[in-house]
């Protein structure tokens, strides 16, 4: 995909702090989801650009504030104290279009410098991720209980993968737990498919009305 010459501009900017994602829709119809870690390690600030060794250890970084810079850019404040990156619309579009390429190059550079990227996931003392799931109406009948505390596998990282994992419990789980059949909240906040699921979270699953 090539960046268009029409210089697309954002039409919508949404920060999903629970998921540590910045979502931007552009005027040409494309939209991108930027992990906060990605934006942090590719910060436009001079101090990052002159570094030989890649920025690392930012798996859990989040964006605390976004500040408009005229009509051409935003300044992003990260919760690790970094606040000197100003991202123009063109830069953000390019980072979105070339996300996979940039990320693979970043991982290769980490390997070159012998730096390991940790998963950064919070666990209990035994290294497990335990969540509490609440089931409502007929979903409680399917599960045989109103709620349960359960250890989730490493593959379950967000709402979408949680539902996919639950559907694998058996045939009777497949249709009622389909993405379009349920509404999910995480810690009593309405969730999106990409909302992260973390250790200690309370996840409520409610059937959508017919």
Residue 150 maps to a domain: yes
- Structure confidence at residue 53 as a pLDDT band (50, 70, 90): confident
Task: Report the pLDDT averaged over residues 117-141.
Answer: 88
The last residue of one of the domains, among 112, 142, 164, is 112
Contact between residue 191 and residue 159 where contact means Cβ atoms under 8 Å apart: yes
Residue 118 maps to a domain: no
How many separate domains does the chain show? 2
Coil vs helix vs strand at 66: strand
In a shared domain, residues 144 and 108: no
In a shared domain, residues 85 and 137: no
CA dist., res. 161 & res. 85, Å (int): 32
- Structure confidence at residue 3 as a pLDDT band (50, 70, 90): very low
In a shared domain, residues 87 and 143: no
Coil vs helix vs strand at 33: strand
Task: Report the pLDDT averaged over residues 98-106.
Answer: 95
By residue range, what is the domain housing residue 45? 10-112
pLDDT at residue 4 tops 50: no
Q: Hey, what are 201's tokens?
A: 């979270």
């Amino acid at each position: 995909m090539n960046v268009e010459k029409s210089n697309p501009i954002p039409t919508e900017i949404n920060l999903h702090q629970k998921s540590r994602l910045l979502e931007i829709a552009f005027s040409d119809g494309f939209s991108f989801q930027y992990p906060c870690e990605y934006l942090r390690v590719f910060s436009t600030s001079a101090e990052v650009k002159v570094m030989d060794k890649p920025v690392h250890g930012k798996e859990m970084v989040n964006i605390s504030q976004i500040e408009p810079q005229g009509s051409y850019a935003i300044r992003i404040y990260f919760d690790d104290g970094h606040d000197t990156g100003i991202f123009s619309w063109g830069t953000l579009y390019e980072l979105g279009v070339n996300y996979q390429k940039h990320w693979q190059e970043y991982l290769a550079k980490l390997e070159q410098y012998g730096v390991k990227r940790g998963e950064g996931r919070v666990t209990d003392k035994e290294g497990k991720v335990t969540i509490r799931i609440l089931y409502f109406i007929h979903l409680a009948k399917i599960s045989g209980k109103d709620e349960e505390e359960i250890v989730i596998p490493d593959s379950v990282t967000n709402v979408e993968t949680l539902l996919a994992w639950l559907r694998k419990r058996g045939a009777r789980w497949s249709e009622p737990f389909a993405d379009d059949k349920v509404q999910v909240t995480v810690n009593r906040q309405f969730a999106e498919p990409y909302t992260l699921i973390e250790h200690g979270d309370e996840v409520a699953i409610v059937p959508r009305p017919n």
